[in-house]
Amino acid sequence: MHLQVSDLGLQQASELEVFGGPSARYCPAGVYEWLVDEKTGAPKFQINSQNCVHCKTCDIKDPNQNINWVTPEGGGGPNYPNM
Ligand code: SF4
């Protein structure tokens, strides 16, 4: 996966619970979603990496620098299926 979250515990404790989950808003492609696990009721960080347009915003804007964008495998660059 070309989007790497170093510490999922930190992502919940800080990015979600302190900052209110900005990743769900700053990502232009809707890659990040905070869902609620149906069974446990716990927050679940979903990463729809296939939607990523490789703008690197998350790499810069995550409040803890906890998300790392790395070069996608194959180096294909952005893929815009609807254009
Ligand atoms: S690189 Fe851009 S499009 Fe991809 S997940 Fe990060 S913010 Fe979203």
> What average pLDDT values come out for the chain (83 residues) when binned by 10 residues?
95 98 98 97 97 97 97 68 60
- CA of 41 from ligand 1 middle (Å) equals 27
Which class for 52: exposed (0-12), middle (13-18), buried (19 or more C-beta within 10 A)?
Answer: buried
Examine residue 29 and state whether it is found in any structural domain, yes or no.
yes
Examine residue 50 and state whether it is found in any structural domain, yes or no.
yes
Res 39: pLDDT? 96
Res 78: pLDDT? 61
For atom 6 of ligand 1, the residue with the nearest CA is 58
Examine residue 60 and state whether it is found in any structural domain, yes or no.
yes
CATH number at residue 56: 3.30.70.20
- CA of 26 from ligand 1 middle (Å) equals 8
- Substitution site in 25, 52, 70 for ligand 1 pocket (most atoms within 8 Å of beta carbon): 52
**Looking at the 3D structure of the chain, how many domains does it have?**
1
Res 77: pLDDT? 59
Examine residue 47 and state whether it is found in any structural domain, yes or no.
yes
Res 75: pLDDT? 57
Residue 5, C-beta contacts closer than 8 angstroms, at least 6 positions apart? 11, 45, 47, 66, 67, 68
Range of the domain at 26: 3-66
Report pTM.
0.85
Res 31: pLDDT? 98
Res 81: pLDDT? 61
The two tokens of residue 48 are 């729809």
User: How many angstroms separate the CA atoms of 81 and 67, rounded?
Assistant: 25
Q: Which amino acid is at 7?
A: D
Examine residue 31 and state whether it is found in any structural domain, yes or no.
yes
Res 4: pLDDT? 97
Residue 80, C-beta contacts closer than 8 angstroms, at least 6 positions apart? 53
The residue ranges of DSSP E strands in the chain, in sequence order, are 3-5, 32-36, 43-47, 67-69
